[in-house]
Structure 1
Amino acid sequence: MVDLVVRSRRAVLPGGERAAAVSVAGGRIVAVGEHYAVVEAAEDVDLGGLALLPGLVDTHVHVNEPGRTEWEGFASATRAAAAGGVTAIVDMPLNSLPPTVTVAALELKREAAAGQIHVDVGFWGGAVPGNAGDLPGLHRAGVYGFKAFLADSGVPEFPPLDPAQLAEALAAVDAQFVIHAEDPDHLHAAASSPAYADFLASRPPEAEHAAVATAIEAARVAGARVHILHLSAATALPLIAAARAGGLRVTAETCPHYLTLDAAGIPAGATEFKCCPPIRDAANRDLLWAALADGLITCVVSDHSPCTPDLKRRDTGDFAAAWGGIASVQLGLPVVWTAARERGHSLADVTDWMARRPADLAGLAGKGRIAVGADADLVAFDPDATFVVDPRRLHHRNPVTPYAGKTLTGVVRTTWLRGRTVTGAAPHGRFLTREAS
């Protein structure tokens, strides 16, 4: 007898979408059979017309605990993740205090998270000036790789690397590096203004283009693995294409907001839309979709980066003074699916971008796919249901979102983590480490 069988006429499997029965025992998938296969199970769930997806993997989440837990915390962030069909996250090394730049800081973060995570959680380490010697130990302690900024991070305790320091970090450890690619020489101080165009002008595409070139050259010299985070400027895509064609281990991601929002549609003073790098125009957005479709951009992740409402400066609407970050870990799936289906993409495409490929980036072999041996992380998803985004129904700590009032398509009905339903009441997430993945 197995613990659970979930049946769906629309199971999204590695080979595509088909009717299937997924059997679960001991938290893992033990069989993927025909829809009406006879299975002796303690629990038999037939989803009917609902789609069955693998749990999404979000490798770009800022949880902020400890230190800035009033911005976000492990309980609220992982509850929001589960509500959005995300069953594994990899936490960024900032904006927590201390940042995850030493083994001691990693242990503090694990202690802070213990007993309150609703999905499985892994961690990135941080590469900052002067900590190259700490990177091998952090890698041995289980982080999935290292985040580095090439421009100001927004918090003083996580300073950027210059090209020489980036080279030193890449030489210190054979690991996945994930890079915030904006070049400080091409950034300008934004004037105090409620006009989004003024903020956008302060972070031109040239800043991303130059920083991507820097990261690619560093990868070439070191023979390193480099991943470009939250790519927003399509002008950098030819650089990434050339690097990959030349055999370099360079990949890139983008985010739901860059794929669905348009600079021209951002109202004056609507600082909930501020993020770095910024949301650009519709023509740029179309180029990002094309790169995602042809595999040049490998995955879509949230860059969930919340703060307290006062830091968004909605009282003044001043984009220059507002914190830059969009909180969307709960909404990423319906946001992307709403736009993807309009562009002719399938649920299999979306789960590839948001489950399998992020899992592959971090080396989470047991995540992001419905396959025998994988963790039984599953999502019952209604791909045709619509809803209006109500910030009061979001689970992240501070209900600020640029999607408020938008009608989205696709509703998560149930999320299973290793075969157990995630209710948001009793946390049963686990820590993920590089060695155990």
Structure 2
Amino acid sequence: MDTVIRAERAVIGGEIRSAAIGILRGLIRLVGRVDGQYRAASEVVLPSTAVLMPGLVDSHVHIDEPGTDWEGFATATAAAAAAGITTLVDMPLDSDPVTTSAAALAAKRAAAQGNCQVTVGYWGGVVPDNIDNLEELALAGVLGFKCFLADSGNPNFPPLRPAEFYRAMSRIAALGSVLLVHAESDHTLAQSPAARGCSYSSFLRSRPDAAEVDAVSLVLDAARATGARAHIVHVSSAQVLPLIAAAKRAGVAVTAETCPHYLTFAADDIPAGATEFAVCPPIRRGDNRQQLWTALSDGVLDMVVSDHSPCAPEAKGDGDFGRVFGGISSLQLGPRVVWTRARMRGFTLVDVCRWMAEAPAALAGLTDRGRIAVGTRADFCVFDPDAESVAHADALHHRHAITPYDGTTLRGAVLATWLGGRRVRAGTSESAELWPLSSLLGLDS
């Protein structure tokens, strides 16, 4: 072995137990007894405070490069490494060009080259003009596709009308891929009052639960009709949960995610003018939040991802929710935020790893990561679950120091992040060569 890691506590096979992990050429080759005798070039014994977890996977991140100053590969992947996240999948929306063609994907990869501290993959975008050309993106290496059913906020990434969405789902089924859907109804939003002023309640009324219900109903109907895999991103409304649960029981190929901000904040508590909380769909009320936690426990919601959606400070407006760009910056904090709240509700790190490593990896088809098992990548997060500290926006690696978590006390600390069998740190990596981090088509490191 190149390295053996000994851990008194490790998340393996749905439980926390002691283990020795043997690594050779970036892969896990052995999961054995913690006190076993193994030949290795080096050995690492983790402190008793640590839990060895699989490297976390965030399948919903807006890196926004090339073409904007909102976020970049260097800053986003540094933040991920600091959070114990070893794989990101980038959304196709907020870069220039948007990732709706093979040429645009090539531009993304060029921007990422030499600037990534963790592994990065890509979703391809589906817009009305490229529905018949999705195979080009699939062959170029995207891990799946993303579309909107309402205005995305970017004129270069228009939404799909219902007939176009059905056609796109048919193409996705033929490709054997997956379509991630921003499920808010354009029709319902158009009939809702526009947000204005400093009151968060105005923003909440502008994006009602009905918008999610209408759009999720369309997604589920199309998945039934076409047999395509659908994934509903950033579920915020508990009113869609019975629809998703019924579809899953009926065998519809659908998965769904929620985000740390929906599990943490409540509309009732958001101060006037606090536009750093603006996100689409919106943060809803406290009773709604509890139902999202229950849906995670029941398996109706499959995973928790950041939807890290940063922007330049000026795009967050002057406290007027009618003039704000929606999006929450949280990549570096997400795992600790979720653990803080999950622990209070009786969940364990086994649950967190299922939601934030195994399920997102499976969504993206990355079956070689997201769990600790022989044959998987030696990507790890070494985590102290009992540590506690206060989050400060200006101490994060994100390009812009804006986050609603500023000043929040969080549980847990990332003691080390391992990528491909080597320890890495936010900002630097070990001098030894990283074993092949670009071996899977479509991923860059």
TM-score bracket, shorter-length normalisation: over 0.9
2:65 corresponding residue in structure 1: 65
Q: Please give the alpha-carbon distance, in whole angstroms, between the structure 2 residues aligned to 1:274 and 1:431.
A: 35
1:43 and 2:42 aligned? yes
> Once the 2 structures are TM-superposed, how far is the Cα of residue 220 of structure 1 from its aligned partner?
1.2
State the TM-score, normalizing by the size of structure 1: 0.97
2:184 counterpart (182, 186, 189):
182
2:231 counterpart (219, 223, 227):
227
- Contact 1:117 1:430 survives alignment (8 Å): no
2:25 corresponding residue in structure 1: 26
1:330 corresponding residue in structure 2: 332
1:409 counterpart (384, 408, 411):
411
RMSD: 1.5
> Once the 2 structures are TM-superposed, how far is the Cα of residue 163 of structure 1 from its aligned partner?
0.7
State the TM-score, normalizing by the size of structure 2: 0.95
Q: Please give the alpha-carbon distance, in whole angstroms, between the structure 1 residues aligned to 2:133 and 2:331.
A: 30
Q: Please give the alpha-carbon distance, in whole angstroms, between the structure 2 residues aligned to 1:339 and 1:162.
A: 37
1:10 and 2:12 aligned? no
User: What is the letter of the counterpart of residue 176 of structure 1?
Assistant: V
- SS at 1:422 equivalent: strand
Deviations 1:232-267 (A, max 9, x none): 001001111111111110110000000111111111
Deviations 1:58-110 (A, max 9, x none): 00000000011x10000100110110110001100010111110111111111
1:396 and 2:395 aligned? no
Q: Which moved more, 1:3-12 or 1:417-426?
A: 417-426
Deviations 1:350-406 (A, max 9, x none): 101000011111110111001110000011100000010011210010011100001
- Contact 1:356 1:367 survives alignment (8 Å): yes
Q: Please give the alpha-carbon distance, in whole angstroms, between the structure 2 residues aligned to 1:191 and 1:336.
A: 29
Classify 1:361/1:118 alpha carbon distance in 2 versus 1 (closer, same or farther; 3 Å): same
> Once the 2 structures are TM-superposed, how far is the Cα of residue 46 of structure 1 from its aligned partner?
1.1
2:131 corresponding residue in structure 1: 132
Gaps of 5+ in 1: none
> Once the 2 structures are TM-superposed, how far is the Cα of residue 407 of structure 1 from its aligned partner?
0.4
1:112 corresponding residue in structure 2: 111
Deviations 1:198-255 (A, max 9, x none): 1001001010000000111111111110000000001001111111111110110000
Q: Please give the alpha-carbon distance, in whole angstroms, between the structure 2 residues aligned to 1:191 and 1:247.
A: 38
Classify 1:189/1:117 alpha carbon distance in 2 versus 1 (closer, same or farther; 3 Å): farther
2:277 counterpart (265, 273, 280):
273
Q: Please give the alpha-carbon distance, in whole angstroms, between the structure 2 residues aligned to 1:369 and 1:328.
A: 23
User: What is the letter of the counterpart of residue 186 of structure 1?
Assistant: T
- Contact 1:101 1:134 survives alignment (8 Å): no
Within 5 Å, give how 1:335-346 maps onto structure 2. Answer: 335-346=337-348
Q: Please give the alpha-carbon distance, in whole angstroms, between the structure 2 residues aligned to 1:103 and 1:434.
A: 13
- SS at 1:130 equivalent: helix
- Contact 1:127 1:146 survives alignment (8 Å): yes
1:292 counterpart (289, 296, 301):
296
Q: Please give the alpha-carbon distance, in whole angstroms, between the structure 1 residues aligned to 2:38 and 2:252.
A: 47
- Contact 2:265 2:283 survives alignment (8 Å): yes
Q: Please give the alpha-carbon distance, in whole angstroms, between the structure 2 residues aligned to 1:181 and 1:283.
A: 21
User: What is the letter of the counterpart of residue 216 of structure 1?
Assistant: L
User: What is the letter of the counterpart of residue 60 of structure 2?
Assistant: H
User: What is the letter of the counterpart of residue 57 of structure 1?
Assistant: V
1:204 corresponding residue in structure 2: 208
Deviations 1:258-315 (A, max 9, x none): 01111111111111111000000110011100010011100000000001111111xx
- Contact 1:121 1:430 survives alignment (8 Å): no
User: What is the letter of the counterpart of residue 385 of structure 1?
Assistant: A
2:267 corresponding residue in structure 1: 263
User: What is the letter of the counterpart of residue 410 of structure 1?
Assistant: G
User: What is the letter of the counterpart of residue 62 of structure 1?
Assistant: H
- SS at 2:129 equivalent: coil
1:193 counterpart (150, 174, 197):
197
- SS at 2:9 equivalent: strand
User: What is the letter of the counterpart of residue 416 of structure 1?
Assistant: W
State percent identity of aligned pairs. Answer: 53
Q: Please give the alpha-carbon distance, in whole angstroms, between the structure 1 residues aligned to 2:123 and 2:72.
A: 16
Gaps of 5+ in 2: none
> Once the 2 structures are TM-superposed, how far is the Cα of residue 14 of structure 1 from its aligned partner?
1.8
1:94 corresponding residue in structure 2: 93
Q: Please give the alpha-carbon distance, in whole angstroms, between the structure 1 residues aligned to 2:223 and 2:440.
A: 24
User: What is the letter of the counterpart of residue 220 of structure 1?
Assistant: R
- Contact 2:420 2:437 survives alignment (8 Å): no
Q: Please give the alpha-carbon distance, in whole angstroms, between the structure 2 residues aligned to 1:165 and 1:416.
A: 43
> Once the 2 structures are TM-superposed, how far is the Cα of residue 189 of structure 1 from its aligned partner?
4.6
Q: Please give the alpha-carbon distance, in whole angstroms, between the structure 2 residues aligned to 1:204 and 1:138.
A: 34
Classify 1:231/1:191 alpha carbon distance in 2 versus 1 (closer, same or farther; 3 Å): closer
1:312 corresponding residue in structure 2: 316
Q: Please give the alpha-carbon distance, in whole angstroms, between the structure 1 residues aligned to 2:134 and 2:428.
A: 34
- SS at 2:425 equivalent: coil
Classify 1:99/1:432 alpha carbon distance in 2 versus 1 (closer, same or farther; 3 Å): farther
Q: Please give the alpha-carbon distance, in whole angstroms, between the structure 1 residues aligned to 2:351 and 2:198.
A: 37
User: How many residues in Structure 1 have an aligned counterpart in Structure 2?
Assistant: 433
Classify 1:191/1:378 alpha carbon distance in 2 versus 1 (closer, same or farther; 3 Å): closer
User: What is the letter of the counterpart of residue 54 of structure 2?
Assistant: P
User: What is the letter of the counterpart of residue 411 of structure 1?
Assistant: A
User: What is the letter of the counterpart of residue 144 of structure 1?
Assistant: L
1:387 and 2:389 aligned? yes
Q: Which moved more, 1:276-285 or 1:132-141?
A: 132-141
Q: Please give the alpha-carbon distance, in whole angstroms, between the structure 2 residues aligned to 1:277 and 1:425.
A: 33
